[in-house]
């Protein structure tokens, strides 16, 4: 277990167009041709779950017409094709995707443009198109596992665009909009088949993450079988479709005290409040099993929202050592789930939690 990755995985590749994605300058030559190998690179990145977009100084309508003619337009989310700086486009894309700049790579043929992006956004990985043939072999572009969520990631973001459009058009209170989504939140004990996705979540999720701990497949597999841990996985669906497996919780179960070692949610569900829903479920489970409930939190420059989530859900600071905070919930009352979401829990989960508590109490007595 660690709190940092060995290298940052790239979540989005942003392309320039002229003399990068294609040969030539579009406004000077309407018959531009794609650079050799580009369609295959785009499709491979897409299959790996790496999102793609465009930041290009160009005529938007003309450029999109050409991308459609090449059957590539569908691969690019939130394309920034205008006359603003390339860095402004990259920044806008990262914000729209709700990812950090250090998980973005930018490809351009011009040293000036790469320097401009690097100056404004030093965290961005800037690449010369001359090295394009090496792109797919870069460690940052090679996720250890390609999960079902990886293959569907672009489509799920496209569905999110539909949701955002509906939310913008909605005129009632926020909770009424959330209720209109008909959300169903499922919580289950993790299974072996979930572990690739859970490793991916610990590596990719930084904002809605309470501690930043990362776990390998093998470490997760051991935790799955540990009598002292509950490894939970959460999935979210609504009337637009599935968000996939978006959440993870690791609870260390001692005889008298349970400790939430890690609670995280995909950034795609940030506005759905489901981190608090999973926390409520764990709180109710602790009350049922008559144990104290604590939680670890390690602050960084991105996860302030998870600190607030603990505070809003009646967790109080028990102690603080540097960036590590130990919270405890006094468990004075059983919290309710919000009305706007249907929560489904694996029936076996409660019995497993109770059995593990009984085993640990027996062990502590002997």
Going by pLDDT thresholds of 50, 70 and 90, the confidence category of residue 111 is very high
* Arithmetic mean of pLDDT over the chain: 92
Considering the chain, what percentage of its residues have pLDDT values greater than 70?
Answer: 93
- For residue 355, the tally of other CB atoms under 10 A from its CB is 11
72: left (phi over 0), alpha (psi -120 to 50) or beta: alpha
Closest to 34 in 3D by CA, of 17, 54, 59, 46: 17
What is the pLDDT at residue 223? 96
DSSP 2: B
- Give tens-digit pLDDT for 125-151: 999 999 999 999 999 999 988 988 899
Rounded distance between C-alpha atoms, residue 217 and residue 223, angstroms = 10
- Give the H or E element holding residue 53: strand 51-57
- Give tens-digit pLDDT for 179-223: 999 999 999 999 999 999 999 999 888 888 999 999 999 999 999
What is the pLDDT at residue 353? 60
What is the pLDDT at residue 322? 93
Going by pLDDT thresholds of 50, 70 and 90, the confidence category of residue 6 is very low
Paired residues of 106 in beta bridges: 14, 126
What is the pLDDT at residue 245? 95
The full set of domains in the chain, from first to last, is 12-141 (3.40.50.1000), 148-365 (3.40.630.30)
- Give tens-digit pLDDT for 305-339: 999 999 999 999 999 999 999 999 999 999 999 99
Are 76 and 54 within 8 A, CB to CB? yes
Going by pLDDT thresholds of 50, 70 and 90, the confidence category of residue 1 is low
Going by pLDDT thresholds of 50, 70 and 90, the confidence category of residue 352 is low
Closest to 214 in 3D by CA, of 223, 205, 222: 205
- Give tens-digit pLDDT for 52-98: 999 999 999 999 999 999 999 999 999 999 999 999 999 999 999 98
Are 316 and 328 within 8 A, CB to CB? yes
Are 196 and 143 within 8 A, CB to CB? no
Task: Return the CA Rg of the chain.
Answer: 23
What is the pLDDT at residue 3? 41
Q: Structure pTM?
A: 0.82
Going by pLDDT thresholds of 50, 70 and 90, the confidence category of residue 271 is confident
- Please give, one letter per residue, the 3-state secondary structure of 246-299: EEEEEEEECCCEEEEEEEEECHHHHHHCHHHHHHHHHHHHHHHCCCEEEEEEEC
Q: How far is CA 42 from the centre of its chain?
A: 21
What is the pLDDT at residue 270? 83
Going by pLDDT thresholds of 50, 70 and 90, the confidence category of residue 357 is low
- For residue 364, the tally of other CB atoms under 10 A from its CB is 10
Alpha helices, DSSP H only, in the chain? 38-47, 60-69, 86-97, 111-120, 148-169, 174-180, 195-204, 217-225, 274-288, 304-312, 347-365
């Amino acid at each position: 277990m660690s709190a940092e990755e060995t290298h940052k995985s790239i979540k989005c590749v942003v392309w320039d167009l002229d003399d990068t994605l294609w040969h030539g300058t579009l406004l000077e030559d309407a018959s531009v041709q794609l650079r050799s190998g580009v369609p295959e690179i785009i499709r491979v990145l897409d299959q790996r779950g790496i999102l793609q977009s465009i930041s290009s100084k160009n005529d938007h309508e003309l450029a999109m017409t050409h991308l459609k003619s090449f059957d590539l337009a569908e691969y690019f989310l939130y394309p920034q094709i205008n006359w603003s700086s390339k860095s402004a486009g990259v920044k806008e894309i990262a914000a729209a995707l709700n990812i950090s700049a250090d998980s973005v790579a930018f490809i351009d043929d011009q040293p000036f443009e790469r320097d401009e992006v690097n100056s404004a956004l030093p965290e961005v990985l800037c690449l010369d198109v001359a090295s394009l043939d090496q792109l797919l072999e870069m460690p940052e572009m090679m996720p250890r596992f390609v999960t079902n969520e990886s293959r569907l990631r672009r489509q799920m973001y496209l569905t999110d665009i539909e949701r955002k459009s509906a939310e913008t058009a909605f005129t009632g209170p926020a909770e009424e909009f959330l209720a209109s989504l008909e959300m169903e939140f499922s919580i289950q004990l993790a299974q072996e088949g979930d572990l690739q996705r859970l490793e991916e979540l610990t590596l990719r999720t930084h904002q809605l993450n309470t501690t930043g701990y990362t776990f390998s497949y093998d470490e997760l597999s051991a935790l799955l079988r540990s009598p002292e841990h509950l490894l939970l996985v959460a999935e979210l669906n609504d009337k637009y479709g599935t968000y996939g497996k978006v959440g993870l919780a690791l609870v260390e179960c001692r005889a008298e005290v349970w400790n939430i070692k890690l609670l995280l949610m995909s950034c795609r569900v940030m506005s759905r409040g489901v981190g608090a829903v999973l926390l409520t479920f764990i709180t109710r489970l602790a009350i049922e099993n008559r144990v104290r409930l604590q939680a670890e939190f390690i602050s960084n420059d991105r996860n302030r929202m998870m600190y607030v989530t603990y505070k809003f859900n009646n967790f109080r600071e028990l102690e603080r050592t540097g960036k590590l905070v130990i919270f405890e919930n006094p468990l004075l009352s059983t919290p309710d789930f919000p009305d706007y979401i249907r929560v489904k829990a694996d029936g076996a989960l409660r019995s497993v939690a109770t059995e593990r508590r009984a085993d640990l109490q027996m062990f502590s007595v002997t």
